[in-house]
Amino acid sequence: ALLVALVVLGAPPAAGAELSAVFLHMGTHECYFINGKEKVRFVQRYIYNRETYMVFESDVGVHVGFTPYGERFAREMNSDSKWMEEQRTTVDWYCRDNYEVVRPFTVERRGER
Question: In this structure, is residue 51 part of a structural domain?
Answer: yes
pLDDT at 16 over 80: no
Question: In this structure, is residue 17 part of a structural domain?
Answer: no
**Would you give the distance in Å from CA 26 to the centre of its chain?**
9
pLDDT at 2 over 50: no
Name the domain count of the chain: 1
Residue 85: predicted pLDDT: 94
Residue 94: predicted pLDDT: 92
- Are the beta carbons of 91 and 42 closer than 8 angstroms? yes
Model confidence pLDDT, tens digit, residues 46-69: 999 889 999 999 999 999 999 999
Question: In this structure, is residue 91 part of a structural domain?
Answer: yes
Question: In this structure, is residue 64 part of a structural domain?
Answer: yes
Question: In this structure, is residue 33 part of a structural domain?
Answer: yes
Residue range of the domain that includes 73 = 22-105
Question: In this structure, is residue 31 part of a structural domain?
Answer: yes
Mean pLDDT of the chain: 82
Mean pLDDT of 83-94: 93
Question: In this structure, is residue 28 part of a structural domain?
Answer: yes
- Are the beta carbons of 96 and 90 closer than 8 angstroms? no
Residue 100 belongs to domain with CATH number: 3.10.320.10
Is-above-0.75 flag for pTM? Answer: no
